[in-house]
């Protein structure tokens, strides 16, 4: 590899000190390295315009935390370009490299001494009152209550067969990548990152026997917002990777399955996820 683009969380790299260091190391090795401009959306989200990334880019290097890398993955949707995460936040699961390992990691990158890990994503379709185009989810799809102090009633089906009905704060469908995020906090299991599975986890269910369920990536999960005694219009909300949200009404259904595209993450050694996992769970 010798053509790179940098996406930086400028709140975490004030003065672009680490970013400048990355540029210098790569350019000293004869590489072309472009720094992407930062744009701010209507929701205050920082993002990169994919059309500004040169067509011949071989790798995108993301400097920030897991949230920055998730946003970059959305920005790069449709572009099959591998991503290397450099961690500038707390101990995350998506970033492969720490600042202290920068020079060694970039040398391996230039010398093509790396692995590419394909991470599955979720496609989401709304069947109900209106058509909505959802982005694919790398982490999770969360359906939760949006009203004040009110539970919602949700039906979950897999391949047309009802799994359960949940009363509570909601339910989330997670990829293996997202299993260490909200899913883990909600009591769900950790999935190996390269596996092809989805996990269904209820959020604060009003039941003692509600548990997470792991299904195949080939399955189709349907979530239906059920009608309660009171109107539930605009009392539920679906969120993709914590950044894209749509209000749901009673009888709206979300169909969730494996997306056609994947996100390609660069790894330097197999098993690095479990090294991070050990360190994280000890914290």
The mean predicted confidence, pLDDT, of the chain is: 89
Write out pLDDT tens, residues 186-226. Answer: 999 999 998 999 999 999 998 878 899 999 999 999 999 99
- Identify the band that residue 232 occupies on the pLDDT scale cut at 50, 70 and 90: very low
pLDDT score, position 281 = 74
- Structure-token match 């709304």, residue found: 126
Pick the CATH number of 121-261 from 3.20.20.80, 3.10.50.40, 1.20.140.10, 2.60.200.30: 2.60.200.30
Beta bridge partners of 116: 266
* Nearest partner of 247 among 261, 235, 229, judged by Cα: 235
State the span(s) of the chain assigned CATH 3.40.50.10330.
3-114+268-282
Residue 233 confidence (pLDDT) above 80? no
pTM for the model: 0.90
Please list the active-site residues: 66
Largest CA distance in the chain: 67
For residues 109-120, average pLDDT: 94
State the span(s) of the chain assigned CATH 2.60.200.30.
121-261
For residues 168-178, average pLDDT: 96
Alpha-carbon distance of 243 to 85, in angstroms, equals: 19
**Strand, coil or helix: 19:** helix
Q: Which fold has domain 3-114+268-282?
A: Rossmann fold (3.40.50)
For residues 11-28, average pLDDT: 94
Going 222 to 205 to 237 to 142, the CA torsion angle's sign is negative
Write out pLDDT tens, residues 136-165. Answer: 999 999 999 887 657 899 999 999 999 999
For residues 158-178, average pLDDT: 95
Pairing of strands 244-248, 236-240: antiparallel
For residues 80-108, average pLDDT: 89
- Structure-token match 């799809």, residue found: 141
């Amino acid at each position: 590899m010798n053509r790179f683009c940098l996406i930086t969380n400028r709140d975490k790299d004030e003065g672009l000190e680490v970013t400048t260091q990355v540029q210098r190391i790569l350019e000293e090795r004869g590489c072309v390295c472009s720094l992407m401009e930062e744009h701010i959306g209507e929701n205050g989200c920082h993002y990169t315009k994919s059309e500004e990334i040169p067509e011949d880019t071989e790798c995108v290097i993301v400097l920030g935390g897991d949230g920055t890398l998730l946003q970059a993955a959305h920005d790069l949707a449709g572009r099959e370009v591998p991503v290397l995460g450099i961690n500038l936040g707390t101990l995350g699961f998506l970033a492969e490299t720490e600042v202290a390992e920068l020079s060694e990691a970039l040398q391996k990158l230039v010398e093509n001494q790396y692995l590419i890990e394909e991470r599955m994503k979720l496609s989401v379709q709304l069947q109900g009152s209106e058509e909505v185009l959802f982005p694919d989810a790398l982490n999770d799809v969360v359906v939760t209550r949006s009203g004040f102090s009110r539970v919602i009633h949700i039906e979950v089906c897999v391949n047309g067969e009802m799994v359960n009905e949940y009363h509570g704060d909601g339910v989330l469908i997670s990829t293996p990548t997202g299993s260490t995020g909200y899913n883990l906090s909600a009591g769900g299991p950790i999935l190996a990152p390269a596996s092809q599975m989805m996990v269904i986890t209820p959020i604060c269910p009003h039941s003692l026997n509600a548990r997470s369920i792991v299904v195949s990536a080939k399955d189709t999960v349907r979530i239906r917002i059920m009608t309660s005694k009171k109107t539930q219009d605009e009392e539920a909300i679906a969120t993709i990777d914590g950044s894209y949200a749509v209000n749901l009404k009673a009888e709206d259904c979300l169909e969730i399955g494996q997306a056609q595209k994947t996100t390609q993450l660069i790894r330097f050694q197999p098993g690095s996820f479990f090294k991070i996992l050990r360190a994280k769970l000890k914290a």
